Amino acid sequence: MRPWSAYLSVVLVSGFLTGAEAPRLSSQQLANAIRNDSITIPTPGELFAALGKPGKPNWADQFRGPITTSYRDRAQIALNLGSLIADGFIAIEAEDSQQVKNIGSDIIRMAKALGVSENILSRGNSINEFAENNEWDALQEELEATQNEVKSSMKSHQDQDLIILVSLGGWIRGTQAVSGAVLQKFDERAAKVLRQPALVNFIESKMNDVSPELRSDPLVKQVTAQLGTVEKLVSFPAGKAPTVEDVRKVHEAVGQIMQEIQRKPE
């Protein structure tokens, strides 16, 4: 039997890969999964793989300009680290080796600011090497390993709250890129990947579980408050593809969150 984390990923993407309606978790199944803490936020790579099936998007159009790596607030660093990891997946999908190397360097710099394991440095060297040789499959695996290394290091340092923020930052940036790609070349099957109400509800529940100190962080409060709006926007009727306008609203909502996350410190 599949672990719940894998099953939720299938629920989110299987219908979009085949053009069929994906199976839905019952309310009891979802409640049990959340109570057991055994479902996870899909990685940007999973979201992009689902979207790429109906027709490969022009991922280079989803690049964004460089962001600062000099944040001082640990919550903001974690959210931006997650978004940078998503950028890395975008660069790999676009097969842009220089972009991969630039983003890889920023990931290492920001991860070090959180005090994660020195093993991350060797991952950075591997990313550069694979990028130089255009080894895209190996790059995908190495970036996933880097993401896991960051989370593992944080866990050993009892930074469980920051792991949630890294995952959240990656999901927000990934959803921004996915919705942007759908808007550029609208396809109803691809647009269905944005229907994720159960997932956003799960994310909200995880944000409610973080420490009171972190919940009181102004940026965390702002991001958490906006998740309710996003949940409503991604709750399209089952079996019905979202319209272009539906997708645009999702794109604008997550884009506003990203602006807050990457805002330079004063």
pLDDT digits (tens, 9 = 90+) for 236-248: 888 888 999 999 9
Q: How many domains does the chain divide into?
A: 1
Q: Crossing angle, helix 4-18 and helix 44-52, to 10 degrees? A: 20
Question: Does residue 218 belong to any structural domain of this protein?
Answer: yes
From residue 123, alpha-carbon distances to 126, 143, 144 in Å are 5, 8, 10
> Looking at this protein, which amino acid is placed at residue 115?
G
Cα 46 from Cα 12, distance rounded (Å):
9
Q: What is the DSSP letter of 61?
A: G
Instruction: Give a yes or no: residue 68 inside a domain.
Output: yes
pLDDT of 112 reads 86
156 located within any domain: yes
Closest CA to 225 of 213, 209, 207, 238: 207
Question: 156: domain range?
Answer: 43-261
In a domain, 222, yes or no: yes
Q: Does residue 47 sit within a domain?
A: yes
Specify the pLDDT at position 36.
39
Structural domain includes residue 125 = yes
Token duo for residue 234: 């991604």
> Residue 160's pLDDT is what?
81
User: Residue 51 carries which DSSP code?
Assistant: H
Whether residue 192 lies inside any domain: the answer is yes
Query: Would you call 27 exposed, middle or buried from its count of C-beta atoms within 10 A (0-12, 13-18, 19+)?
Result: exposed
Task: Please list, in sequence order, all residues whose beta carbon lies within 8 angstroms of the beta carbon of residue 137, skipping any fewer than 6 positions away.
Answer: none
Encode pLDDT of 79-97 as tens digits. 999 999 999 999 998 999 9
Mean pLDDT by 10 residues, the chain (266 residues): 34 34 44 45 73 71 91 94 92 92 90 78 80 88 83 76 90 94 89 88 89 93 95 89 95 97 86
pLDDT at residue 16, as a whole number: 34
Tokens of 211: 């420490």
User: Could you tell me if residue 252 is inside a domain?
Assistant: yes
Report CA dihedral (114, 206, 93, 58) to the nearest 10 degrees: -120
pLDDT for position 219: 96
- At 33-50, the pLDDT tens digits run 444 344 467 777 777 776
